[in-house]
A = this chain, B = another copy of it.
Amino acid sequence: MEVTTVGQYQLVYNAISFGIAAFAAATVFFWFGRSQVAPQYRTAITITGLVTFIALYHYLRIFESWSAAYKVENGVLIPTGVPFNDAYRYVDWLLTVPLLLVELILVMRLPPNETLSKSLRLSIAAALMIALGYPGEVSGGINTARLIWGLISTVPFVYIVYNLYVGLGESISRQPENVRGLVRLARDVTVFSWLFYPIVYFAPFVLPVTGGTATAVIQTGYTIADLTSKAIFGLLIYAIAVRKSEAEGARGLTSA
């Protein structure tokens, strides 16, 4: 998938650069904020910052790869022949999507056994979801491989969504009242922002999304979805940690 006009190229270029700035800022914010939550929430905030840090790394690489794939000369876009490496996105998701789920579970502060079992099950499902989608992604455009791997990858996706609403839904209703709404919102933001990925993945089967415009929309859309599911979601996790730290008061702040 290639862009064809200077405008398309620059839109994606600027969106990726925006991603770099936003993820860098988010990382610093979370890591500074770590010391402002009670010790029992610090691991959750460390991981929140790790997710945006890993995304920052990959956006720097994506930027590099995007810049190397094209050059603009005298107002004309010229592909250089060096391929744009879209795999960085999958490598990023393979690491960050399991961690996003762990963040949410950690900030809820469930009993240790429940934390471990839920973190493990959801992380493995998330890693499977990404890994199973990849062979379809690299198989090219509209073909059976994309459809089959996509459908297989939907199984862990549905499993995660089901668990977030049913298994975790129950745990959410046991959260302190002052954060219950925020925890639900964080969960909903996750699921809602994730919907963009399968839509893009399966879009070629339904719509004539080929050509430069489609590529520009997809790359920019991935960037917006990543920012929502990592940085904005992270801010919600941070807000939950701050509120819970305040409610648990001095007791929490000395218990570590």
Give the B-binding residues of A (Cβ under 8 A). Answer: 6, 10, 13-14, 17-18, 20-22, 24-25, 28-29, 31-34, 36, 39, 42-43, 46-47, 49-50, 53-54, 57-58, 61, 71-75, 81-83, 85, 87-88, 91-92, 94-95, 253, 256
Which residues of chain B are within 8 angstroms of A46 by Cβ–Cβ distance? 28-29, 32-33
Q: Within the complex, which residue of B21, B29, B42, B72 is in contact with A47, where a contact is CB–CB below 8 Å?
A: B29
**Number of copies of this protein chain within its complex:** 2
Asked if A53 and B28 make an inter-chain contact with CB atoms under 8 angstroms apart, the answer reads yes
Asked if B21 and A85 make an inter-chain contact with CB atoms under 8 angstroms apart, the answer reads no
> Given contacts A32-B46, A85-B10, are A25 and B95 in contact (CB under 8 A)?
yes
Asked if B91 and A61 make an inter-chain contact with CB atoms under 8 angstroms apart, the answer reads no
> Given contacts A28-B50, A29-B50, A82-B73, are A36 and B256 in contact (CB under 8 A)?
yes
For chain A, what secondary structure do more than half of its interface residues adopt (helix, strand, loop), or is it mixed?
helix
For the A-B complex with A29-B47, A71-B82 known, give 13 more contacts whose Cβ atoms are closer than 8 Å.
A14-B85, A17-B91, A21-B54, A21-B57, A22-B95, A24-B53, A25-B54, A28-B53, A33-B43, A33-B46, A36-B39, A73-B81, A253-B256
The docked-state distance in angstroms from the alpha carbon of A116 to that of B18 is 24
> Given contacts A53-B25, A72-B83, are A94 and B33 in contact (CB under 8 A)?
no
